[in-house]
Amino acid sequence: MGTYDEMFRRSIEDPEGFWGEAAHAITWHKKWDAVLDSSNPPFYRWFVGGELNTCYNALDRHVENGRGDQIALTYDSPVTKTIRKFTYREVLDGVSRFAGVLRNLGVAKGDTVVIYMPMIPEAVIAMLACARLGAVHSVVFGGFAPHELALRINDAKPNVVISASGAVEVTRLIEYKPLLNRAIELATHKPEKCVIFQRPFLKAGMIQNRDLDWEELMSNASPVPCVPVNATDPLYILYTSGTTGKPKGVVRDNGGHAVALRWSLEYIYDTKPGEVYWAASDVGWVVGHSYIVYGPLLTGCTTVLYEGKSVGTPDPGAFWRVISQHGVKTLFTAPTAFRAIKKEDPSGEHIKKYDLSQFRYLFLAGERLDPDTYHWAHNLLKKPVIDHWWQTETGWPIAANCLGIEHFPVKPGSCTKPVPGYDVRVIDNLGNPVKAREEGLVVVKLPLPPGTLPSLWKADERFVESYMKIFPGYYFTSDGGFFDEDGYVHIMGRVDDVINVAGHRLSTGAMEEVIAQHKDVAECAVIGAKDSLKGQLPVGLVVLKAGVIREEEELKRELVQMIRNEIGPIACFKEAIIVTRLPKTRSGKILRSTIRKIADGQEYAIPSTIDDPSILAEIEEGLKRIGYAQRDVRRSPW
Ligand code: COA
Ligand code: AMP
């Protein structure tokens, strides 16, 4: 292993040599013909001609190589008071039998399967069983409402959906089955079969000839072997928010993904086979795909599947309990989870109750790590606290302190340096490079490294339009930021209409589409305003139709309910104000950044392009009514 500078340089100057070597950590059914196919930019393909099976690499080969009795998965569920441990052999047994179930239902290589499940071992088994058959899974986060699930069903067109009877959110029971039924009613594509895992505390009603019981199917299932697939075949689709109401189906291939994730565990997370790695996220998000399921299992680690939160399940000591009880070496979560602990236990009384001597690193991502939270976590834990930056599209980090290569001094507010493979640049609107410390648009020179999105699901044109066309030769991240004089990357936030709420990526455009359907609404804008716990929260500004008079609180309640019904509670939409009109440029563009500044209590200049400046005072007044637009910026975590 070389130093960071050497490794980084090699990854950019000789990507084929660099990733060709990394690929030896994966077991191939057939070796690739070429490491990188650059013949059709911007559609780059890694390990063309190679064949492998991701599930084989995550399970079978570890059992064959003597890890059969090692714990592969620790399921820790404070909400159901359950802890269960599964060895690699046991997970392999469950996965190969569930793959048999799916095969009997007609699922074959290349078919799609939607998984709508809470954080239970069966979700992991379902994902790996798809991978075993060469089928393409699309996991949908449980906090999404039926309409969002229906959009994903329509796009992925699965013949089989896998779900569960329900989940427990802290103390509240959430029934998944009625949500699934409603989604299938709404969807134009109708899946033939639904496999339902009945949780002991909640029995779902079943629809005859469509719904099948997981346990019953498993009791008659025979295990099936792995089906080799092309390295370039899709492993999964994961939908993520774009600027419109139609989510983007990010595609992940098999070969590049396995190589990149296996590499990242060792060189970014400094985590070795046999160690305990815990990503406190959800299988419905990219972090869950990469670092609850695939990354740790491809590496032969023990992964922790945690069905709980950082607070309230039952207290702010929950994370420390899990770390000490299961010997976690590396924890990966979102800064919000730590801000929640900090709020309830500012002096860290709970941490004193647990032995964290085996705990080594805290990695945070999903949103900007504000320096306050960094210092609090670092002072409390006295361990490295590492901010790193990535996106659903990339599937693994773009910039990080790569602890397995070289540990750089941490600069709070920065995610350190570009990860080998990512040629990160900061440019202005015209595509010119900007100076150190000058904020601009963050792009990555093509080709992107293995494991990143080869395209969007059945939407090559949208892929090109969204990411590749804006600055030809570069992938546009939609994030703003800068390099400092030491080459550290600072990511300052999205430059589009995507917002980040508790580390979850949400589209304000999608919320606007829902609000616009209200019978009294003429037009609306949703912006992300700063919040001291969740980073950002959506706030709606609503213009009523001519002649309509509505009481603000009552209208707000209706809009909140509409967003919960259409998008889901995870949107965290709780605030809206009525305004006479929206501030716009003379050409009709809504001045969102000005509204955002007003909401955050920042100084703002009246834009020279505004059609009528008098509306800004009214908006400031309205936002004050709901606790925003406070000039002391108490809401900001920064
Ligand atoms: N199914 C159904 N509903 C869900 C859900 C699920 N899987 N997950 C969340 N929800 C609901 C919650 O119950 C809540 O509903 P409410 O408005 O009725 O209370 C809403 O969605 C928002 O959830 P959440 O953002 O989790 O807020 P919270 O107040 O319950 O918890 C934190 C606050 C800080 C503990 C929580 O946001 C957190 O842990 N954030 C870290 C996020 C994270 O790990 N991100 C992953 C990226 S790495
Ligand atoms: P998602 O696709 O849900 O992972 O969200 C990706 C977005 O989250 C990025 O485009 C960033 O805006 C934001 N993000 C993720 N990690 C970080 C980080 N470490 N610092 C700043 N922003 C981040």
pLDDT tens-place string over residues 424-477: 999 999 999 999 999 999 999 999 999 999 999 999 999 999 999 999 999 999
Residue 419 DSSP symbol:
P
Does the pLDDT of residue 636 top 60, yes or no?
A: no
- Mean per-residue pLDDT for 85-103? 98
Please tell me if the CB atom of residue 340 comes closer than 6 angstroms to any atom of ligand 1: yes
Ranges 245-249, 299-303, 480-484: which has the least confidence: 245-249
Q: What is the pLDDT of residues 121-157, one digit of tens each?
A: 999 999 999 999 999 999 999 999 999 999 999 999 9
Among 366, 627, 395, smallest CA distance to 500 is for 366
Class in CATH terms, 10-14+16-308+388-481: alpha beta
Give the 3-state secondary structure percentages of the chain, helix then strand then coil, rounded to 5: 35, 25, 40
Rounded-to-integer distance, Cα 133 and Cα 102, Å: 9
* Mean of pLDDT values over 167-174: 94
Å from CA of 533 to ligand 1 middle: 12
Partnered with residue 585 across adjacent β-strands are: 610
Please list the residue range(s) of the chain that carry CATH number 3.40.50.12780: 10-14+16-308+388-481
Between CA 487 and CA 483 the distance in angstroms is 6
Q: What is the pLDDT of residues 257-305, one digit of tens each?
A: 999 999 999 999 999 999 999 999 999 999 999 999 999 999 999 999 9
Residue 638 has pLDDT above 50, yes or no: no
Assess whether the C-beta atom of 564 lies below 6 angstroms from ligand 1: no
Q: Is 311 in the pocket of ligand 1 (CB under 6 A)?
A: yes
Average pLDDT value over all residues in the chain: 96
Residue 47 has pLDDT above 70, yes or no: yes
DSSP conformation class of 413: T
From 389, 456, 492, 570, give the residue whose CB has the most ligand 2 atoms within 8 Å, as the site to mutate: 389
What is the spatial distance between Cα 450 and Cα 177, in angstroms, rounded to a whole number?
37
What phi and psi values does residue 625 have, to the nearest 5 degrees?
Answer: -55, -35
Q: How far is Cα of residue 296 from the mean position of the Cα atoms in its chain?
A: 17
What is the rounded CA–CA span in Å between residue 129 and residue 95? Answer: 5
Q: Is the pLDDT of residue 390 over 90?
A: yes
Q: Are 282 and 119 in contact (CB under 8 A)?
A: yes
pLDDT of 401 over the 50 cut: yes
pLDDT digits (tens, 9 = 90+) for 559-597: 999 999 999 999 999 999 999 999 998 888 899 999 999
Q: Where in the chain is the domain with CATH 3.30.300.30?
A: 502-636
**Do residues 79 and 119 make contact, with C-beta atoms less than 8 angstroms apart?**
no
H or E stretch covering 553: helix 552-566
Least confident of 5-9, 184-188, 367-371, 385-389: 367-371
- Give the fold, CATH level 3, of 502-636: GMP Synthetase; Chain A, domain 3 (3.30.300)
339 lines ligand 2 (CB under 6 A): no
What span, in angstroms and rounded, lies between the C-alpha atoms of 268 and 278? Answer: 15
Mean pLDDT of 384-398: 98
pLDDT of residue 2: 64
| pLDDT on residue 245 | 80
Nearest to 235 by CA among 177, 278, 294: 294
For residue 499, give the ligand nearest its CA: 2
The pLDDT assigned to 634 comes to 43
Per-residue pLDDT at 632 exceeds 70: no
Residue 191 in tokens: 């899946």
Tens digits of per-residue pLDDT, 221-241?
Answer: 999 999 999 999 999 999 998
Quick check: 107 pLDDT over 80?
yes
Q: Please, which residues have CB within 8 angstroms of residue 308's CB and are 6 or more apart in sequence? A: 76, 77, 78, 79, 318
Nearest CA to ligand 2 atom 6: 391
